[in-house]
Amino acid sequence: MALLKSLAARKDDLSSPANQLEFLSNGVFKKGKLPLFKDKIAQTNHFPLKPKKLEILQLNLGYMCNQVCSHCHVDAGPDRKEIMTKETMLQCLEVIRTTGAHTLDLTGGAPEMNPNFRWFVEEASKAGIKDFIVRSNLTIILANKKYHDLPEFFKKHKVHVVSSLPFYKRDKTDKQRGDGVFDKSIKALQMLNAVGYSQEGTGLKLDLVYNPSGAFLPTDQNLLENDFKVALKEDFNIDFNNLFAITNLPISRFLEYLIASENYEDYMYALVDAYNPTAVENVMCTNTISISWDGWLYDCDFNQMLELKVASKVKHISQYNEDLLNDRDIIISQHCYGCTAGAGSSCQGSVA
Amino acid sequence: MSKTYYDPADLRKFGNISEWNEELGAKFFDYYGKVFEEGALSAREKSLIALAVSHVVQCPYCIDAYTKDGLQRGIEKEEMMEAVHVGAAIKSGATLVHGVQMMNKYEKLSM
Ligand code: SF4
Ligand code: SF4
């Protein structure tokens, strides 16, 4: 079921990252029924977890969103006012111009709702980054007339669009993301195809993100991609490039759902059971830096939402120094099991 | 001691059966794993068969496991329910076809 308000607006106990982290260290983990993530990765000599070469800069332009999805790890929604300012964007641009990373990844909330979004994309696209991703929730394109030309805008700046579509059928999509979301998403995908996305010879890439609509793990990414391709083509004549299967991490609103539906313990057992040491080597934090709307630096978007700033002398974009940052230990907790289950999970899908 | 015969949490302990007989346990789990691999039938088709059989043998653990497995594979609820009906149809058919035996016996015994 889609929600009406964020945890923050409801002043729910779980809106506090400290409470979430405490919850994730109690219960089955405190009783020793399940191993702490730290102990689990230590068995294969992966503790402390260290970064490899930096490849991706992920910028969160703000937590405001036109949707209030029930699984959202950002706790995003129309009631969230945290938005990146132009000043912070200028600091980010400096970093983008000098970084060794080959990918720039803009996320949110709905990044398009940031009033300086277009200006920022124009400026950033001049920096010569190889892969420039915008994570779009699709419905934003139809949410207001002022967003209708986003497909053209993305095309103009050769943006690589990554969009979430939880399923290729209406009921599961709408249950997770809200009534009408499926039809709007389909329309938006058709608009993106119409300007050339995922069409031969255009070089314009459109990828989809699948995440399970409930307390279960995603199956094999290639099988899912195939199912999505066949269904979307047959039913709606939609093309896309790749599908990323992402595991829902037990934080924020998904954690709220797991607790309320009494699925929390089973879900944690499933994650720990599916632990894959190969996935640990490639978890997202090993090649990504996540930057929050207010310029703080994190190991990943999940740690950002848990307010776990990087364990480095450099903690803010204003002090940015890639060499120093790359020397840090990554901060981990039990939510990390979501990245290492099965084929692993990251913003680019499976990792193992 | 638990007060019911079935505890959903026991499903997680399924692997423990090997503790009292490692050789047979290992052989079973190895066989089980192989059966469900992609083959002439897809893993998806096997999952639906398993769901139907779970209902016929009325194993609550299997029903939980293969409902979840189906969700993970993107199997839809309509497909799951049809599979359950296939199981139910065979089971009721198997009951009813014995009606012929009853009829035969009745005729044989009657003057
Ligand atoms: S569209 Fe994305 S950011 Fe917005 S509420 Fe849904 S999951 Fe969260
Ligand atoms: S949650 Fe973040 S820190 Fe933990 S393993 Fe995943 S990417 Fe790394």
pLDDT at A28 over 70: yes
Question: Is residue A10 scored above 60 in pLDDT?
Answer: yes
Spacing, Cα A307 to ligand 2 middle (Å): 13
Instruction: Give the tens place of pLDDT for each residue, A314-333.
Output: 999 999 999 999 999 999 99
Ligand 2 and A284: CB distance under 6 A: yes
Query: What's the structural domain count of chain A?
Result: 1
Which residues of A, range 154-183, sit inside 8 Å of B by Cβ? 167, 169
CATH 1.20.1290.10 corresponds to the domain B41-109 = yes
Q: Is the pLDDT of residue A78 over 90?
A: yes
Whether A181 and A174 have beta carbons less than 8 Å apart is answered as: yes
Mean predicted confidence (pLDDT) in A78-89: 97
| Token digits of residue B4 | 């019911």
Range of the domain at A50: 13-340
Structure tokens, A24: 């994730």
A42 belongs to a structural domain: yes
Q: What is the mean pLDDT of residues A144-171?
A: 94
Q: What are phi and psi for residue A122, nearest 5 degrees?
A: -60, -45
pLDDT band at A171 (very low <50, low <70, confident <90, very high): confident
| Residue A167: per-residue pLDDT | 87
Per-residue pLDDT, averaged over A147-156, amounts to 98
Question: Residues of chain B whose pLDDT is less than 70?
Answer: 1-2
Distance CA B83, CA B53 (A): 9
Terminal alpha carbon distance of chain B? 58
Domain boundaries, chain B: 41-109
Between residues A175 and A32, the one the model is more confident about? A32
Q: Distances in Å between the alpha carbon of A239 and those of A16, A134, A225, A231, A242?
A: 40, 18, 11, 10, 10
pTM (two decimals): 0.93
Strands A131-136 and A206-210: unpaired
pLDDT per position as a tens digit, A189-245: 999 999 999 999 999 999 999 999 999 999 999 999 999 999 999 999 999 999 999
Q: What's the pLDDT at A2?
A: 64
Residue B61 CA to residue A68 CA, distance in Å, equals 34
pLDDT of res. B3: 80
Whether the CB of A67 sits within 6 Å of ligand 1: yes
Question: Which of A169, A217, A227 minimises the CB distance to B72?
Answer: A217
Q: Which pLDDT score is estimated for A56?
A: 97
Span A265-278, mean pLDDT? 96
* A270, closest residue in chain B (CA to CA): B12
pLDDT of residue A124 exceeding 80: yes
A176 within a domain of the structure (yes/no): yes
User: Exposed e or buried b for every residue in A96-121, given b needs 16+ CB within 10 A?
Assistant: beebebebbbbbbbbbbbbebbeebb
Q: What is the pLDDT of residues A85-104, one digit of tens each?
A: 999 999 999 999 999 999 99
Distance of CA A41 from the midpoint of ligand 2 (Å) = 12
Ligand lying closest to the C-alpha of residue A337: 2
Which are the contacts of A45, defined by CB distance < 8 A and separation ≥ 6?
none
Interface test with B, best of A169, A222, A223 (most B CBs within 10 A): A223
Residue A346 lies in a domain: no
| Ligand 1 atom closest to the CA of A66, numbered from 1 | 4
Q: Assess B15–A contact: CB distance below 8 Å, yes or no.
A: no
Per the prediction, chain A carries an average pLDDT of 96
ipTM field: 0.82
Residue A186: pLDDT over 70: yes
Paired tokens of A320: 């940015």
For chains A and B, CB pairs below 8 A equal: 20
Between CA A84 and CA A61 the distance in angstroms is: 5
Q: Give the closest residue to A109 by CA, choosing from A97, A117, A101.
A: A117
Q: What is the distance in A from the centroid of ligand 2 to the CA of A73?
A: 13
Contact B71 A214 (CB under 8 A): yes
pLDDT at residue A174, rounded to an integer: 87
Q: In what order do the strands lie in the sheet with A160-164?
A: A243-245, A206-210, A160-164, A131-136, A103-107, A56-60, A288-291, A297-298
Do residues A178 and A69 touch, judged by C-beta distance below 8 A?
Answer: yes
Q: What is the pLDDT of residues A277-309, one digit of tens each?
A: 999 999 999 999 999 999 999 999 999 999 999
In degrees and rounded to multiples of 5, residue A140 shows phi and psi of -60, -35
Q: Which of A115-129, A163-177, A213-227 shows the lowest mean pLDDT across its residues?
A: A163-177
- Identify the residue with better confidence: A2 or A209: A209
